[in-house]
Amino acid sequence: MSQMTERPPDSDRPLERLPGQVARVSLPRPVLQSFHYRIPPDLLPTAVPGVRVVVPFGRKRETGILEALVDPPAGGGSRLKDLHSVLDEEPILSPELLHLCRWVADYYVAPAGLVYRAALPPGMLGSAGKGRGELRRQVIHIVRELPTLTEREQVFGKARRQREAYETLEAIGGRAEVAHMERQLGFGRAVLTGLVQRELAEITSETIERDPFAGFHTGPPAPELNPAQERVLEELLHRAEASEPGVAVLRGVTGSGKTVVYLRLMRAVLDRGRTAILLVPEISLTPQTVERVRSEFGDDVAVLHSGLSDGERRDAWAALREGRKRVAVGTRSAVFAPMRDLGVIVVDEEHDGSYKQGETPRYHARSVAVVRARMAGALCVLGSATPSLESWELARRGKWASLVLPERATPHPLPDVQVVDLREELTPPPRILSERLKEALAERLSRGEQSILLLNRRGHSTWISCNDCGWVAACDSCNVSLTWHRKRGRLVCHHCAFEQPSRDICPECGGRTLSFTGVGTEQVERHLGEEFPEARIARMDVDTTGEKWAHRDIIESVRRREVDILLGTQMISKGLDLPGVTLVGVIDADVGLNLPDFRASERTFQLLSQVAGRAGRGSLPGKVYVQTAKPAHFAIQTALQHDFETFATRELDDRAGPGYPPHVRLANLLVTGPDETAVADAAGALGDWLEELIERHEVASTVVLGPAPCPIDRLRGRWRWHLLLKSDDPPALGSILRYSAANAPIPSGLRLEIDRDPESLL
Residue 417 interface partner, choices ligand ADP, Zn ion, none, CB cut-off 5-8 Å depending on type: none
Angle formed at CA 168 by CA 163 and CA 172, multiple of 5 degrees: 150
Residue 707 Cα distances to 57, 477, 630, 660, angstroms: 37, 22, 32, 17
Output 229 or 462, the one with its CB closest to ligand ADP: 229
Output 360 or 410, the one with its CB closest to ligand ADP: 410
Distance CA 310, CA 306 (A): 9
| Burial class of residue 571 in the structure, from the number of CB atoms within 10 Å of its CB (0-12 exposed, 13-18 middle, 19+ buried) | buried
287 binds ligand ADP (CB under 6 A): no
Binding mask 493-522 for Zn ion (x = CB under 5 A): x-xx-x-------x-xx-x-----------
111 binds ligand ADP (CB under 6 A): no
Which of 257, 343, 361, 622 is close enough to bind ligand ADP by CB under 6 A? 257
Question: Could you tell me which stretch among 57-65, 218-226, 241-249, 449-457 binds ligand ADP (CB under 6 A)?
Answer: 218-226
Distance CA 308, CA 327 (A): 17
Distance CA 342, CA 544 (A): 38
609 binds ligand ADP (CB under 6 A): no
Find out whether 483 and 492 touch, Cβ atoms under 8 Å: yes
Residue 303 interface partner, choices Zn ion, ligand ADP, none, CB cut-off 5-8 Å depending on type: none
Cα dihedral sign for 149, 151, 152, 156?
Answer: positive
| Burial class of residue 572 in the structure, from the number of CB atoms within 10 Å of its CB (0-12 exposed, 13-18 middle, 19+ buried) | buried
258 binds ligand ADP (CB under 6 A): yes
Binding mask 185-204 for Zn ion (x = CB under 5 A): --------------------
Binding mask 639-678 for ligand ADP (x = CB under 6 A): ----------------------------------------
Sheet with 490-492, side-by-side order of all strands: 499-501, 490-492, 483-485, 461-466, 514-519
Residue 478 interface partner, choices ligand ADP, Zn ion, none, CB cut-off 5-8 Å depending on type: Zn ion
The total of other beta-carbon atoms located within 10 Å of residue 425's CB is 12
Which of 101, 176, 260, 339 is close enough to bind ligand ADP by CB under 6 A? 260
Residue 469 interface partner, choices ligand ADP, Zn ion, none, CB cut-off 5-8 Å depending on type: Zn ion
Nearest distance from C-beta of residue 253 to ligand ADP, angstroms: 7
415 binds ligand ADP (CB under 6 A): no
DSSP 396-415: HTTSSEEEEE-S-SSSS-SP
Closest-CB residue for ligand ADP? 257
Output 333 or 502, the one with its CB closest to Zn ion: 502
Q: Report the interhelical angle of 644-656 vs 389-396 (nearest 10°).
A: 100
Which of 350, 577, 713, 757 is close enough to bind ligand ADP by CB under 6 A? 577
Residue 146 Cα distances to 142, 202, 454, angstroms: 10, 15, 68
Residue 465 interface partner, choices Zn ion, ligand ADP, none, CB cut-off 5-8 Å depending on type: none
Output 72 or 252, the one with its CB closest to ligand ADP: 252
What's the length of the chain?
762
Q: How many residues bind ligand ADP (CB under 6 A)?
A: 16
759 binds ligand ADP (CB under 6 A): no
Nearest distance from C-beta of residue 513 to Zn ion, angstroms: 9
Find out whether 495 and 542 touch, Cβ atoms under 8 Å: no
Distance CA 749, CA 268 (A): 55
Sheet with 718-727, side-by-side order of all strands: 702-715, 718-727, 665-673, 751-756
Residues 292-331 that bind Zn ion (CB under 5 A): none
Output 48 or 474, the one with its CB closest to Zn ion: 474
Question: Could you tell me which stretch among 217-225, 414-422, 633-641, 680-688 binds ligand ADP (CB under 6 A)?
Answer: 217-225
Distance CA 45, CA 234 (A): 47
Find out whether 476 and 498 touch, Cβ atoms under 8 Å: yes
Question: Across the strands, what pairs with 56?
Answer: 61
Which of 28, 194, 252, 343 is close enough to bind ligand ADP by CB under 6 A? 252
Distance CA 444, CA 448 (A): 6
Nearest distance from C-beta of residue 385 to ligand ADP, angstroms: 7
471 binds Zn ion (CB under 5 A): yes
Cα dihedral sign for 572, 574, 578, 584?
Answer: positive
Residue 225 interface partner, choices Zn ion, ligand ADP, none, CB cut-off 5-8 Å depending on type: ligand ADP
Torsion of CA 43, 44, 46, 51, to 10 degrees: 90
Nearest distance from C-beta of residue 226 to ligand ADP, angstroms: 4
410 binds ligand ADP (CB under 6 A): yes
Nearest distance from C-beta of residue 616 to ligand ADP, angstroms: 11
Q: Give the three-state DSSP class for 102.
A: helix
Nearest distance from C-beta of residue 469 to Zn ion, angstroms: 3
> Which residue, among 255, 260, 262, has the nearest Cα to 236 in the 3D structure?
262
Residues 422-461 that bind ligand ADP (CB under 6 A): none
Output 200 or 260, the one with its CB closest to ligand ADP: 260
Residue 682 interface partner, choices Zn ion, ligand ADP, none, CB cut-off 5-8 Å depending on type: none
Distance CA 106, CA 122 (A): 22
Task: Give the helix ranges, DSSP H, for 560-710.
Answer: 600-612, 634-640, 644-656, 676-696
Question: Could you tell me which stretch among 250-258, 328-336, 371-379, 526-534 binds ligand ADP (CB under 6 A)?
Answer: 250-258
Binding site for Zn ion (CB under 5 A): 466, 468-469, 471, 475, 477-478, 493, 495-496, 498, 506, 508-509, 511
Binding site for ligand ADP (CB under 6 A): 223-226, 229, 252, 254-260, 409-410, 577
